Amino acid sequence: MMQNEEVAKVLDEIGDMLEVGGENFFRVRAYRNAARSVRDQPVAVAELSPQQLDEIPGIGADLAGKISTLIKTGELPLHRELAEKFPPALLELRDLPGLGPKRLKLLIDHLDIHGKDDLEREARAGKLRKLRGFGAKMEERILESLARREHAAGKRISYVEAARIAERLVAHLRKCRAVEQLEVAGSFRRRRETVGDLDLLAAAARADPVMKQFAAFPDVITVTGAGETKASLVLRGGLQVDLRVVPQASFGAALLYFTGSKSHNVHLRRIAQARGFLLNEYGLFRGRSTIAGKTEEQVYKALGLTWMPPELREDRGEVEAAQSGRLPNLLSRNELRGDLHTHSTYTDGRASIEEMARKAAEMGLEYFAVTDHSRRIAMAHGLDPKRLREQGRAIERIGGSLRGVKLLRGIEVDILEDGSLDLPDGVLAELDWVVACVHYKLEQNPRDMTRRLIKAIRNPNVDVIGHPSGRLIGHREPSEFDLAEVLRVAHEERCALEVNSQPDRLDLTDTACMAAKHAGVKLVVSSDAHSPRDFELLEYGVNQARRGWIEADDVLNTRPLKSLRQR
């Protein structure tokens, strides 16, 4: 049964849309009044007959009929029609301070505005202030609240997006001569797959010029919480950036503090306390005397620990490992000798095998597997056995003429709903490298998905399961399956799991990497490149693996080509 509030909301929205659409004032007001009357009713209007509705002050016969339709069918044709003309984004703008329906109408009549992004663009271009009844103050206020709203929504951005912004921020701040040292700390430094805000840390004798330079960053919408040594900015698009300026002598302690994670810091403070120290962002102290603070190494050392890579600082056992000298020697990008998941123009790649090979050689890779899609992926012109063999001959021909990089004949074969593969075993057996992936029916129930993955893993032709969870960060949830069981079988079958480096995949996750390592399952860090530039994405897969404590030994493509195979 529809609640009064729901009915009133629809009526209000109709009023707003009519007003934005330039409808006659009385009609607009009729809907608003009706909405108010419905809200004020002590009984549920859904239980009233049309006659009873008609008797409510502020609701005439016409509106009484509309409300009954709404209650009966759950919607109103008029509301739907209007909603098509006035997209939700536009109505959302209404909630901004000072932007009532009247002003909103002015905006869409005079400027090309269909949503928040358009509004922000026009406001930044100074076009709002020129409209009657707006002015510069209002324009500023609108920009501010746009920025705050996005941030309040708790939106996290991908590591790659953050990296692009961080790079520009760092270049901008380095222009300030007072800056002696500069680091991007926080989750960004820990290489988390998404970043909530950026935390910058500068060492400088005088903070003032650094703060000025910070506030002069081109994309700033608002400066909030500006103090003498700290400030926060909100950038266009909504990302918040915090800056702290500290003296050199505190830089290490501050870097440690602002790198986090919070739980890592809590653990360190506990150790400090047990030793009679005080640890904070200014340094490590005993009473009035400073024990350490200039570098992170000093602070860790004074706590009986060795320095550790930020990727590990999640309080997942790294403190204990440092205490007993068992920190992992994390994988690095230059330890990857090859790439075992790439595409070409045979399916949905944007470059020829030759172009891909040129870039791979340039990047110092010793080998890569061409693993185009199988036939089921029709949208990408997936390969059937005939075209796959054709491609295989091309790969051999091209490979024969190459120096520096070796090519493998491979496939990204689709795992069908029942766990069988999209190409016959005999065809797969001819290949050098087989990546098996789920692309469809990702929302299968966990039991079926587990069975499906296991069946693929049991196929002796399969070398690795690609992007095992199928998630797309921010867009698609991971499929659910019994990871422990999948790992157990993968270990038994000597089948590897992929860490896909595409920024929106990063699949396996960091904790799944840890679990795989624990289960003795080898990983493959792959670019899933669809263009030559995509080979550079390997960096992100390496980040993810490092967060999962992965070392070179755990990763098949750190091996030379001849010892690649596990079986």
Of these partners, Ca ion, ligand DGT, none, which one is at the site of residue 260 (CB under 5 to 8 Å by kind)? ligand DGT
For residue 184, the minimal CB distance to ligand DGT (Å) is: 10
Stretch that binds Ca ion, among 65-73, 196-204, 298-306, 373-381 (CB under 5 A): 196-204
Q: What is the closest distance, in whole angstroms, from the C-beta atom of residue 225 to ligand DGT in the complex?
A: 13
For the segment 132-191, give every residue that binds ligand DGT (CB under 6 A): 186-187
Kindly state whether residue 242 participates in binding Ca ion, applying the rule CB under 5 A.
Answer: yes
139 vs 318, beta carbon nearer ligand DGT:
318
Nearest to 361 by CA among 532, 542, 562, 527: 532
Rounded Cα gap, residues 45 and 42, in angstroms: 9
Q: Which backbone phi and psi does 123 adopt, to 5 degrees?
A: -65, -40
User: Which residue stretch of 106-114, 192-200, 363-371, 512-520 sits at the interface with Ca ion (rule: CB under 5 A)?
Assistant: 192-200
**Span interacting with ligand DGT, options 172-180, 207-215, 252-260, 559-567, rule CB under 6 A:** 252-260
Residue 387, amino acid: R
* Closer CB to Ca ion, 21 or 196, in the complex: 196
Q: Give pairs for 529-532: CB < 8 Å, separation 24+.
A: 529/339, 529/341, 529/342, 529/343, 529/349, 529/356, 530/343, 530/348, 530/349, 530/350, 531/349, 531/350, 531/351, 532/351, 532/355, 532/356, 532/358, 532/359, 532/360
Q: Is the peptide bond before 37 cis (omega within 30 degrees of 0)?
A: no
d(CA 517, CA 500): 16
Q: Which amino acid is at 54?
A: D
**Part in contact with Ca ion (CB under 5 A); list of ranges 189-197, 356-364, 371-379, 436-444:** 189-197
Instruction: Give residue number: closest CB to ligand DGT.
Output: 260
Distance CA 194, CA 293 (A): 29
As measured in angstroms, the least distance from the Cβ of 317 to Ca ion is: 23
Burial, 65: exposed, middle or buried (Cβ in 10 Å; 0-12, 13-18, 19+)? Answer: middle
Strand order in the sheet with 278-280: 278-280, 283-286, 289-292
User: Is 349 one of the binding residues for Ca ion (CB under 5 A)?
Assistant: no
323 lies in the binding site for ligand DGT (CB under 6 A)? no
Angle ∠(460,461,462) on CA atoms, nearest 5: 95
Q: Is 86 in the site for ligand DGT (CB under 6 A)?
A: no
Residue 199 touches Ca ion, criterion: CB under 5 A: yes
Residue 262 touches which of ligand DGT, Ca ion, none (Cβ within 5-8 Å per kind) = ligand DGT
Provide, for the chain, the percentages of residues in helix, strand and coil under a 3-state DSSP scheme, each rounded to the nearest 5.
50, 15, 35
- Is 265 a residue that touches ligand DGT (CB under 6 A)? yes
Q: Which residue is nearest to Ca ion (CB)?
A: 186
DSSP 331-348: --GGG--EEEEE--TTTT
Question: With CB cut-offs between 5 and 8 Å by kind, which of Ca ion, ligand DGT, none does residue 183 bind?
Answer: none
Q: Judged by CB under 5 A, which stretch of 103-111, 197-205, 464-472, 517-525 contacts Ca ion?
A: 197-205
**Should residue 262 be labelled a site residue for ligand DGT when binding is judged by CB under 6 A?**
yes
Query: Which x/- pattern over 192-231 shows residues binding ligand DGT (rule: CB under 6 A)?
Result: x--xxx-x--------------------------------
C-alpha to C-alpha distance for 294 and 40, rounded to whole angstroms: 65
Among 69, 261, 290, 531, interactor with ligand DGT by CB under 6 A? 261
Between CA 200 and CA 553 the distance in angstroms is 34
Q: Which residues here bind ligand DGT, judged by CB under 6 A?
A: 186-187, 192, 195-197, 199, 257-258, 260-262, 265-266
